[in-house]
Amino acid sequence: MIAQKNSIQYAENLDQQDPLAHYREKFYIPQINGEDSVYFTGNSLGLQPKSVKDYLQQELDDWAKYGVEGHFDAKKPWFAYHEFLTPKIAKIVGALDSEVVVTHSLTTNLHLLMVSFYRPTKERFKIICEAKAFPSDQYALESQVKFHGFDPKDAIVEIAPREGEHTINEEDIYKAIEENADSVALVMFGGVNYYTGQLFDLEKITAAGHKAGAVVGFDLAHAAGNVILKLHDWGVDFAAWCSYKYLNSSPGGVSGMFVHQKHEYKPELPRFAGWWGYDKDTRFLMEPGFVPMKGAEGWQLSNAPILGMAAHLASLDIFDEVGMEKLRAKSDQLTAYLEEIIDDISARKGHLCEFEIITPRNQKERGAQLSILAHGKGKAMFDSLTKQGVIADWREPNVIRIAPVPLYNSFVDIYKFGERLEKAIEE
């Protein structure tokens, strides 16, 4: 049965039945060898929506026409430009409009949020996180701990996979929280692990952290626009994410942050303040003494980077049209088909190279990414894939990260990947 599925006819039939197939035409697909590449790195940088050019041109035209007056006279006034993004991104992360804002960059937002929500004391100072989180998170946590005068060796509790396993057993997370219930100040994980593609149960982690008396936050760089999120309903305290991966919003594009409604108006909450987070009704009086806006907007520092936000808005309008439920359904179909193709090749070509999918097989425990461990082959095999027009991601020592994105990847893409992977093995 699997061998029958590993055919161009089967893949083409799936594409013909796909109600979202036409959205591929809304994106630019990088060309290699004179044809569409097999682009599987939406987990690093999403593709450019063709509409971005028009969105940017509108702001460039208004800048040329109005100069500084564009803040109030532009078609979409720059003074409140971030508000055009708010309801769209709120749907994607499962939040109230007041709980989200698009501003700054991801690690900047994480630091700003930890200023407010990592408030260690002599008794309660530990941070529980995943081992081998993305380096930015590691450095951010380490520097926050040091800033407060603690030794990271004592303050940071990392949860790693068990011996011989690739992903984290979530029972180990809950056990660590319980064992450190008297000393944990913050629980902070990536929503989806960047290396293995493991999706954590954010609702259960939040509940466990709160039971222990800790604040709970998440880096959703690999989760936003990828998996179903319900940050408000789950009671998450804070979160941040970038916009350039699954959200397709330009290299190094603007970030988003979430602050739960229960924290929406606490002027006494410590924060690093800036002018754009000041109550907008009196902002231009420019008086001393910071008065924050209610909700996540109160964590803004500077006025909006309009061109980056315009690119972001172009993509968010597509998400708003499709909806996360439909995207997630197709994503599950894509990864299931990719899983079958990889298993088929590994079964037939195991004497040359055996592939081990280290991402959880349970679809509820993963998003769009599958990470494949290549036993018996190294970087040369990956380089062969690249020459054949596959844009994927290599991680040492021998892991290939593949992320078929439902907005622009097809089932034929997956078939072609398998075909070229098989050729790379044989070479």
CATH number for the region 2-36+323-426 comes to 3.90.1150.10
pTM of the model: 0.96
CATH 3.40.640.10 domain locations along the chain = 55-322
Separation CA 89–CA 316 (nearest Å):
7
- CATH 3.40.640.10 is held by the domain 55-322: yes
Q: Is the dihedral of CA 109, 112, 114, 117 positive or negative?
A: negative
CB 343 within 8 A of CB 421: no
First to last CA, the chain: 27
Pair 157, 209: CB distance under 8 Å:
no
Cβ contacts of 44 within 8 Å, gap of 6 or more: 245, 393
Give me the tens of pLDDT residue by residue for the chain, a chain 427 residues long. Answer: 455 789 999 999 999 999 999 999 999 999 998 999 999 999 999 999 999 999 999 999 999 999 999 999 999 999 999 999 999 999 999 999 999 999 999 999 999 999 999 999 999 999 999 998 888 999 999 999 999 999 999 999 999 999 999 999 999 999 999 999 999 999 999 999 999 999 999 999 999 999 999 999 999 999 999 999 999 999 999 999 999 999 999 999 999 999 999 998 887 889 999 989 998 888 888 889 888 999 999 999 999 999 999 999 999 999 999 999 999 999 999 999 999 999 999 888 877 778 899 999 999 999 999 999 988 777 888 999 999 999 999 988 889 999 999 999 999 999 999 999 999 988 7
Phi, psi of 202 (to 5 degrees): -65, -30
Distance CA 166, CA 407 (A): 29
For strand 184-190 and strand 31-32, is the pairing parallel, antiparallel, or unpaired?
A: unpaired
Phi, psi of 408, rounded to the nearest 5 degrees: -135, -5
Q: Range(s) for CATH 3.90.1150.10 in the chain?
A: 2-36+323-426
